[in-house]
Structure 1
Amino acid sequence: MTKDVIALTERMPDALSVLAGLLAGGPDLRVDTTGEGAVVQLCDGEGRPLVSIEVPLMLRVPGEAARLLGPGAEPSGDGPAYWVEARAAAGVPQAERLAGAFAARLTMLLGGRVWPPDAPGTVGAASPVDISGITAVPVPAAAQPAVDMLTDQAAVVLQDRPVVPMTSWLSEALRATVESDRSLQIVTPPHCRLSLPTSMLLESTPARWVVQDERCGYYDGLTGAVLTWEDDAFRPDRDASGETPVADAFTEVRPTGERQLIVSFRTQHPPAADLVLGGALETAWQALTGAPPAGWGTSEPAGLTWSRRQLTELAYARAPRPTWTVVVGTPDRPAVATLRVTRTPEGVEEDVTLTVGYGPGEKPALEALPGLAGELVTRHGLTTMLCQLRAARRDLSAPPHFEHPPLPYAYVLGPAEVREAGRDTAGRTPLKENPVQLGPSARPGYYYPLGDGETAESWTALEQLMRHLRGAPPA
């Protein structure tokens, strides 16, 4: 099922090195471009793509290749690496050999490594791949380079890598399927995991993670529902009683002692010419990890060094369209955030979800939350914030088995929401613990402790608080 081959080079690919890679199939293959020139394709004699190659991405962030591809993926050398991804057409055996030979040729010329290291075509890459008789399948007009099969109901993507990231072409496939009222369905073997941004986007869109299991066939990697191929898409299977069974593989869970702290917040800024975005996220990152973010990007891998100025320039250039970005930390303290910037009638809104991973024996930075909430209220226009804990992987990837949902730990209201709820209502609640007032008394915010974040009682506390703030009678 492995169709992706990645060259991680030590030097920047130039026109000659890319041309040498493209000649892996000899001079008879056609070369085409798509995606406004962002993707180069090796095509058969009929112009149908065999290998799609994305423009090189500079990785300035240490550990980013290892986060997505596993230990040992990083090229040696002190400078930045260059990530060049080649995707072979499904169902064409020689296509993967072409992708492997292309990647191997780049690393021969520029230094670096190929992932996976045993990809077909990497041995003997100096000689062209035999392409006699090779023919690609026709590509539907609406298909993206990442899509292996397109139906009226779904776009199916086959993936086999340690972590499935939200790459630029996977995000483009997701956008295209949403616009065409299809479901994006990512099919993987059971040893694959999803990156945090990928799992978050799949949960919030008409998409599905399909895990191929030798016992039940297929199941949903996020819910465990057994799936079947029906009406041109993977759908929940039904037993004799009409219920959807849960795959046994999904319920096989062993506690590891790993945990995640999830902090989701929204800020609102009035429109101003000197507005610089990302300050609230940077403040939260510093408070919870002891360091600022390491890198960011509009897809994974996140190759750019963290820069609030560049983030602001990108969001400004894309306005009034929203801007979605992923932000990453350093390997010693796993942390990943998604940041969505939206232009609203009131100004500019930042919607952030920051997740920090902890191993067995490591204590989440819970004591920093009240102080962080106060700083976000007074300096960064906080509207709301929810802090949660969950038992889940330290590396923040999502495995294809059950993980306990997060439990609320604290909730925060900013001054505008306090004014809307009424100061007396916001300051006096039915919770066991009194709220902590934040910011100036003239425009206060409130921090509401909800429990220890380890029992379901915290959900009850959050529900009571929400009903109280909305003015609803107690349940």
Structure 2
Amino acid sequence: MTKDVIALTPEMPDLPTLLAGLYAGGPDLGVNTTADGAVVQLCGPDGRPLVSVEAPILVQVPGETFRLLGHTVADGPVWWTEARASTAVAEAARLAGSFAGRLATVLGGTVWPPEAATTDVVPLATDVSAIPAPATGSPAVDVLTATTAVVIQDRPLIAMTSWLSDALRSAATAERALQIVTPPTARLTLPTRAALRGLPNRWVVQDAEHGYYDGLSGAVLHWKNGTFTPVHDEQGATSAAEAFIPGPDTGERQLILTLRTRHPAEEPLVLGHALETAFRHLTGAPPAGWSTAEPVNLPWSTRQLTDLARARAPRPTWLVAVGPPGRPALATVRVLRTPAGVEEDMTLALGYGSDEAPPLDAIEELSTVLDAEHGLVTLLTTVRAARRDLTVPPSLEAPPVPVAFTLGSAEAEAIGQARAGHPPLGPSPTRLGFASRPALHYPLSDGTDPDAWNTFQRLIRHLFTPRQTQRK
């Protein structure tokens, strides 16, 4: 298990400052680098890593430290320097706190969590030679087996940091599952939830009274054959943990847009405009920033994210974008190079309080613009009863309810306007844009009728099942 401590400073920690921080353990400890120099490790005399420090990140997006840490810093950019201490060694957490405290003292910053900050020299009294060194090769991974990489986190909000992103990528490359173990007080950001949604990846909640359970499905889990797996009874059935119960309905809601756009793979192409358009229509402002991990640290730039995707092609590019403080808005984007062109798969979530109404009446106009200007393929709009801050608790949450489905004009043309425009069991679509080649907007519900999923599934089967299959 590891303990995370973060120094937040107005200036970049230079080499002398980093060395002063790493001297927190006195002259007997060593320093090592890993991840091509991106991670510096404070090590015991035998070379065992005690504290791993990631390269500082300049966070230029307002509100990110409060969104992820509940920690307010002075206005302006802030350098985020994250240290992970191994809890297998008693002194390691205090070493991480002293490292961060020294950076904050020299550079005039703060430390999260505040109680971890100190500038004391922490001598190593533990005989680390008696403690097996982790054989993971990654500072983010605590346990590595043939099938699974386990990360144990105790921070209140589990974000898709570069630590976790690297661990997920390494696990996928090695065909391992990534499983994150947290206490029941932890929550996930939406990017982390999306990363853990597909099995065998899991969010494992360790509850003192109820043991282990899956934080997204509630299934009771146990450690077996080097991985967390559901407990089965004699009939092979699984059960939900007693702690996995619905929270109270506070009236908070999330508006979720799942959309795909497609563009010709041409040199002038600039990505990100569809997402920016959705942000402007629904929040009144463009995204505040983007990044390939959390915290989101770069000011919004369609040109920069296009350059990144082009440099990585034909490999896919994943990124996250956030809105400005005030209206919770968070999006994930996956850019794909396909035979049909360049596609952007996007999920945009916006949070609303009990006294706020999601702007459902804006979706039809947004769909029209996305189709006319940004190569819309499909757009599914849903509403769910969930937290306004867009975080995910380890409890039973109601599924989203479909509100509308929009079929872009090119997709409708490929299916056939006669067929796409007249589903035999409804709903009847509204035609958007040019009458000769319209996009089709299918209303499904007002966001309160769960049966709208059945309507949506019938519609999808009608639209995308090959005709010869339908005749059989």
Question: Is TM > 0.5 for Structure 1 vs Structure 2?
Answer: yes
**Amino acid aligned to 1:10:** P
Contact 2:2 2:142 (C-alpha < 8 Å) held by counterparts? no
In 1, Cα distance between the equivalents of 2:471 and 2:69?
Answer: 50
- Residues 272-322 of structure 1: CA deviation (Å, up to 9, x unaligned): 211111000000011111111111100000011111111111111111111
In 2, Cα distance between the equivalents of 1:64 and 1:474?
Answer: 54
Residue 326 (structure 2) aligns with: 332
**Amino acid aligned to 1:221:** G
Residue 20 (structure 1) aligns with: 20
Contact 1:7 1:107 (C-alpha < 8 Å) held by counterparts? yes
In 2, Cα distance between the equivalents of 1:243 and 1:466?
Answer: 31
User: How far does residue 16 in structure 1 lie from its aligned partner after superposition?
Assistant: 1.4
In 2, Cα distance between the equivalents of 1:53 and 1:88?
Answer: 9
Aligned positions of 1:25-44 closer than 5 A: 25-44=25-44
- Residues 361-417 of structure 1: CA deviation (Å, up to 9, x unaligned): 210010010011111111001111111111010000000000011111111111222
Residue 91 (structure 1) aligns with: 88
Residue 128 (structure 1) aligns with: 121
Matching residue within 154, 159, 167 for 2:148: 154
Is residue 313 from structure 1 mapped to residue 307 from structure 2 by the alignment? yes
Aligned positions of 1:196-207 closer than 5 A: 196-204=190-198, 206-207=200-201
Contact 2:136 2:142 (C-alpha < 8 Å) held by counterparts? no
After TM superposition, the score normalised by the length of structure 2 is 0.95
Superposed CA RMSD in Å reads 1.8
Residue 74 (structure 1) aligns with: 72
In 2, Cα distance between the equivalents of 1:267 and 1:351?
Answer: 7
In 2, Cα distance between the equivalents of 1:467 and 1:335?
Answer: 31
The percentage of counterpart residues that share the same residue type is: 56
In 1, Cα distance between the equivalents of 2:20 and 2:382?
Answer: 51
Matching residue within 460, 469, 472 for 1:466: 460
Matching residue within 175, 179, 185 for 1:185: 179
Is residue 53 from structure 1 mapped to residue 47 from structure 2 by the alignment? no
In 2, Cα distance between the equivalents of 1:357 and 1:91?
Answer: 39
**Amino acid aligned to 2:63:** G
Measured at CA, do residues 231 and 52 of structure 1 come closer, stay the same or move farther in structure 2, by a change above 3 Å? same
Aligned positions of 1:280-359 closer than 5 A: 280-359=274-353
- Residues 95-126 of structure 1: CA deviation (Å, up to 9, x unaligned): 1111111000000011121111112xx33x1x
Residue 166 (structure 1) aligns with: 160
- SS at 2:41 equivalent: strand
Contact 2:2 2:86 (C-alpha < 8 Å) held by counterparts? no
- Residues 213-264 of structure 1: CA deviation (Å, up to 9, x unaligned): 1222111100001111111111111234432221111114211111101101
**Amino acid aligned to 2:103:** L
Comparing 172-181 with 295-304, greater Cα deviation is found at 172-181
Contact 1:178 1:206 (C-alpha < 8 Å) held by counterparts? no
Is residue 113 from structure 1 mapped to residue 110 from structure 2 by the alignment? yes
- SS at 2:37 equivalent: coil
In 2, Cα distance between the equivalents of 1:473 and 1:458?
Answer: 22
User: How far does residue 138 in structure 1 lie from its aligned partner after superposition?
Assistant: 4.6
In 2, Cα distance between the equivalents of 1:320 and 1:140?
Answer: 35
User: How far does residue 426 in structure 1 lie from its aligned partner after superposition?
Assistant: 1.0
Residue 254 (structure 2) aligns with: 260
Unaligned 5+ runs, structure 1: none
Residue 395 (structure 1) aligns with: 389
Comparing 321-330 with 231-240, greater Cα deviation is found at 231-240
Matching residue within 213, 217, 224 for 2:211: 217
Residue 8 (structure 1) aligns with: 8
Contact 1:143 1:150 (C-alpha < 8 Å) held by counterparts? no
In 1, Cα distance between the equivalents of 2:349 and 2:293?
Answer: 17
Q: How many residues align?
A: 468
Comparing 188-197 with 40-49, greater Cα deviation is found at 40-49
**Amino acid aligned to 1:167:** T
Contact 1:8 1:74 (C-alpha < 8 Å) held by counterparts? no
User: How far does residue 197 in structure 1 lie from its aligned partner after superposition?
Assistant: 0.2
Contact 2:429 2:440 (C-alpha < 8 Å) held by counterparts? yes
- SS at 2:243 equivalent: helix
Unaligned 5+ runs, structure 2: none
Residue 246 (structure 1) aligns with: 240
